[in-house]
Structure 1
């Protein structure tokens, strides 16, 4: 079997699993998708508009997540896997292009592209895995995606039921992954069958989060360049940049690289942690997307009083920070007090500025994020300072000098 087609497709589990160029190329589709989603939310920041954007983001995230999980098992240099990634990328671009009108005239484009991505993956992999245990795993997943695909297509065709049917399809898909895709007579996947290279998936999560933060900077920069570059817009743009830097720092430090090691240490059961991390990253990216929209609204009109801007401006950072706290708790049990206090502080800060211009709202929330970063870093700075002092005192003793008081 090792010399057959499955053997040539699969990576060895001891392979370091470095992210390939093609995977990074695939992420370009997600950059485009995030810009379309932020524009859709900006055009309709109502509760219904936000729910529609959430559904589309959940679908696009599921495409990215399932593809990243699949790519972890296969050699990205194999021609068949190259074809699979390019197929998924093109389908993702079609979905992203349809985002602005996915609940109007182009629902069928969005839904059919989504279903075609998942069924196309099965069409490519199932024949290629003939004789390998992973063929049954791929078959289970394909059957369930075919069933949920009916909800997607019917929802696209029946406008009044679209949100409900698409939401049901997503709930079913996200839940079935946690249940390991059970199906009558085919059983369910075992955790070893779902085992991943933790360091590879952890690196992919980091990259996609940085892409989300990069979208915040990109959209803020484009909006600022079209704003006339006046004083208030410049301040708003600076706040957007500081917010992006703070969110990136809060994500990467201190446990940015610990997820992979924890997954590897757990072995096959680590797949449950990988899946949970996928759900939490979805929440984090949703939070960054909402923050991006809030900053864009602030740059466009710093002196306006907009309830929609206030809501997304508060919910965005609060969501991202809450999901990051939960991820840290799951990975290493840490519960940093600054972050725990920071979530209610963001909400209180937003409520306290409800009658003030949105530039003030953004400044307060950015200030809270900076304080969280500062207090987050203080224990590390204290330990560094103490170690430096101990080294200096040791050097002085070594040279016969009296240590400084």
Structure 2
């Protein structure tokens, strides 16, 4: 045990790859995000969608810090894996109580307070591992110190919100995220972050997204329950996996490779900025889009599983916004990712976002199964267009955006 605490961090090399410890952490992290679907779906309202967004933002902030730490030092050696395991335990505890995050009981430790304390533990380990990874690098320790200061300040509204309830809790937890995020923004502007391995950083973000796409299919089982043998329910399940495949194709076929190449070929002084904005920030709408889309799919399947005629079941506005808004978020994140990574993106991606927005009010007036089918048809058409249309090809870094 003493050897672990006295061990020095092992710096990564430029060719470093993701470790099994990091992948394990990602699995637990995405499990926590999928629990937010349960929170937002009881039943879906615009308030519950906003509450889910706050938790998504808070958890995403912690994940990005662990990703940066794993890029600086090996996550499978010395003190880092021990810290990561404790952090996984904190994420798991948070995940267990997330569905009841706004429900207050008579216990001394109710769900909101447990969630707040688990998050504080998670961020405290963040700070400790970040300073450990910085070692004797003064600039990096200064950057970590700036971020740590606002993180600790954010704990005040977080705990206060957990002790209160209703609107006050929502506003205070939203303020906690703003305070926490401001530290990262200030640290990036004043001191900057150092990226040692572009390939590792790109790989970690790709892995967390593919895990999110895979685990989002849990919503199919949750919504279908025991009615999966019914024709409309089975069809909706097949549409859901088709949507997930389209999401995989839209990111991994070309976008991820072009952006990764842009990060790897960028001058060393610019890599930290590209990694911060194109990966740490722009990937949030990608992952959030998957989670909101999973909520929408779950609601479609839930309606169909109740045995009502499929043509008589319609989604409410909140569920429709989750279903189509998830796609809009995903496509917006992809556009921002590419623009921030290589400074350009096909204009067709902007058009696709606009089309998805225009389909939303139409879907509200369709049966739930038809609304899901319309979304699937749109995504399949988008994949087909990007596969065969020259105008949709992704430019490489430095090229002009195609007309």
Q: Report the TM-score when normalising by structure 2.
A: 0.85
Question: Cα distance 1:197–1:128, how it changes in 2: closer, same or farther (>3 A)?
Answer: closer
Question: Cα distance 1:6–1:202, how it changes in 2: closer, same or farther (>3 A)?
Answer: farther
Q: Does 1:305 align with 2:314?
A: yes
* d(CA) in 2 for partners of 1:72, 1:382: 32
Selected match of 2:374 from 356, 359, 364: 364
> Alpha-carbon deviation of 1:149?
1.3
Contact 1:227 1:299 in 2 (8 A): no
Which stretch shifts more, 221-230 or 156-165?
A: 221-230
> Aligned residue for 2:396?
none
* d(CA) in 1 for partners of 2:179, 2:44: 27
* d(CA) in 2 for partners of 1:382, 1:81: 42
* d(CA) in 2 for partners of 1:19, 1:59: 23
Question: Cα distance 1:150–1:232, how it changes in 2: closer, same or farther (>3 A)?
Answer: same
> Aligned residue for 2:65?
66
> Aligned residue for 1:253?
253
Secondary structure at the aligned position of 2:16 is classed as coil
* d(CA) in 2 for partners of 1:137, 1:319: 30
Q: Alpha-carbon deviations, 1:179-201, whole Å to 9, x = none?
A: 2178xxxxx5x33x533422111
Question: Cα distance 1:222–1:46, how it changes in 2: closer, same or farther (>3 A)?
Answer: closer
* d(CA) in 2 for partners of 1:285, 1:220: 18
Question: Cα distance 1:181–1:147, how it changes in 2: closer, same or farther (>3 A)?
Answer: farther
Q: Where does the alignment leave 5 or more consecutive residues of structure 1 unmatched?
A: 183-187, 384-405
Q: Where does the alignment leave 5 or more consecutive residues of structure 2 unmatched?
A: 105-110, 305-309, 394-403
> Aligned residue for 2:211?
211
Q: Does 1:28 align with 2:34?
A: no
Selected match of 1:293 from 272, 277, 295: 295
Count the aligned residue pairs.
Answer: 372
Q: Alpha-carbon deviations, 1:210-269, whole Å to 9, x = none?
A: 111112222214433522411111111111011111111111121212333323323132
Selected match of 2:178 from 162, 171, 183: 171
> Alpha-carbon deviation of 1:337?
4.0
> Alpha-carbon deviation of 1:327?
1.3
> Aligned residue for 1:350?
360
Contact 1:178 1:272 in 2 (8 A): no
Q: Does 1:43 align with 2:42?
A: yes
* d(CA) in 2 for partners of 1:127, 1:71: 11
Q: Report the TM-score when normalising by structure 1.
A: 0.85
Contact 2:161 2:169 in 1 (8 A): yes
* d(CA) in 2 for partners of 1:349, 1:77: 46
Which stretch shifts more, 68-77 or 266-275?
A: 266-275
* d(CA) in 1 for partners of 2:39, 2:144: 34
* d(CA) in 2 for partners of 1:58, 1:15: 29
> Aligned residue for 1:103?
102
Question: Cα distance 1:337–1:259, how it changes in 2: closer, same or farther (>3 A)?
Answer: closer
* d(CA) in 2 for partners of 1:211, 1:241: 14
Matched ranges for 1:373-384 at <5 A:
373-379=383-389
Contact 1:350 1:365 in 2 (8 A): no
* d(CA) in 1 for partners of 2:71, 2:135: 19
> Aligned residue for 1:158?
164
Name the Cα RMSD after superposition: 2.6
Question: Cα distance 1:18–1:328, how it changes in 2: closer, same or farther (>3 A)?
Answer: same
